[in-house]
Structure 1
Amino acid sequence: MSKTAPAVGDRIVHKEFPAITRHTLALYCGASGDHNPIHVDIDFAKASGFPDVFSHGMLVMGYLGQALTDAVAPGKIRSFSTRFAAITQLGAQLTCEGHIAELLETGGERRARIALTTKDQHGETKLAGEAIIAL
């Protein structure tokens, strides 16, 4: 964050991620222990009515969390919450952003509520959320 006083509307978070590949999904399966075949088995995904495998929601949430902690020291984060908005397809190039939505004070501590989004290269919101940070 900059040294100037923060203002509503200021962009605090911005990070772009490379396209999600089958390899990305396989690595995430191993790291997370989430081996749901909908994310790695194309035949299973098609039998379930999808055109292909798609990303784990928690992988997308992890990207947003990484973007947040790249911009704000983890010790200044008071809360972080998200809601899934849409399936993230294979090949999605995600951009995570966060803007100050509100300045507030809690218990004598100056804080900001950050509105967070993760969108794909087509501008479709995949994840939305918010964080409260200490200033």
Structure 2
Amino acid sequence: MRQPIQVTIGDTFPARDIGPLTQTDIVRFAGAGGDFNPLHHDPEFVRSTGFPGVISMGQMQAGMLAGWLSDWLGVEHLREFEVRFVAPVFLGDVLRLSGEIVAIDGQGPVPIADVALSASRGDDTVVKASAQVVVASS
């Protein structure tokens, strides 16, 4: 098990770019997670709903953010992870995953950092997330 890392408010981890997303990416995730909603694979159905094209399932982006966060601070230290889907993600989108330490509570038995996370497509945020992670004491 990795030890918690030392962080300070304002710390970031190098952003991760993912994409462009392909139909294969979406189908593979659908197979792994069992989400076979036609919004994710049937262009005719998608057009009938008013979307311009196939959309990725939100849990795929949530998983990307969780993986990025785990690479930074360690999944074994994760205490809470919340996600809010802001906008649909389409085939061809390139996502940038980023995050920042926004607060640290050192009053409990272990220090807990609040992390603000996002997945963005250019200037548009598509997913906002927050996490609480055990960090090293200062």
**Both proteins in one fold, TM over 0.5:** yes
Quote how far apart the aligned CAs of 1:74 are: 1.1
Is residue 5–residue 73 contact of structure 2 (8 Å, CA) maintained in 1?
no
CA distance, structure 2, for counterparts of residue 106 and residue 129 of structure 1: 24
Map Cα deviations across residues 83-104 of structure 1 (whole Å, 9 max, x no partner).
1111111111111111010011
2:97 alignment partner in structure 1: 96
Q: How far is the alpha carbon of 1:108 from its aligned partner?
A: 2.2
Q: Distance in 2 between matches of 1:102 and 1:37?
A: 40
Tell me the percent identity: 29
Shift of 1:12: 3.5
Residues of 1 paired with 2:124 and 2:25: CA distance? 20
8 Å CA contact 2:112, 2:133 repeated in 1:
yes
Cα distance in structure 1, aligned partners of 2:108 and 2:6 = 20
**CA–CA separation in structure 1 for the residues paired with 2:34 and 2:22:** 18
* TM-score, normalised by the number of residues in structure 1: 0.90
Which ranges of structure 2 fall in alignment gaps of 5 or more residues?
A: none
Distance 1:70 1:5 in 2: 15
Go from structure 1 to structure 2 and tell me whether the alpha carbon gap of 1:4 and 1:74 turns closer, same or farther (over 3 Å shift).
closer
Question: Which residue does the alignment assign to 2:8?
Answer: 7
Cα distance in structure 1, aligned partners of 2:22 and 2:53: 12
1:54 aligns with 2:55: yes
Amino acid at match of 2:35: D
Aligned residues: 132
Kindly indicate whether residue 66 of structure 2 is the aligned counterpart of residue 76 of structure 1. Answer: no
Deviation at 1:5, TM superposition (A): 4.9
Q: 1:82 to 1:6 in 2, by over 3 A?
A: same
Q: Which amino acid aligns with 2:68?
A: A
1:125 maps to what in 2?
Answer: 125
RMSD between aligned alpha carbons?
A: 1.7
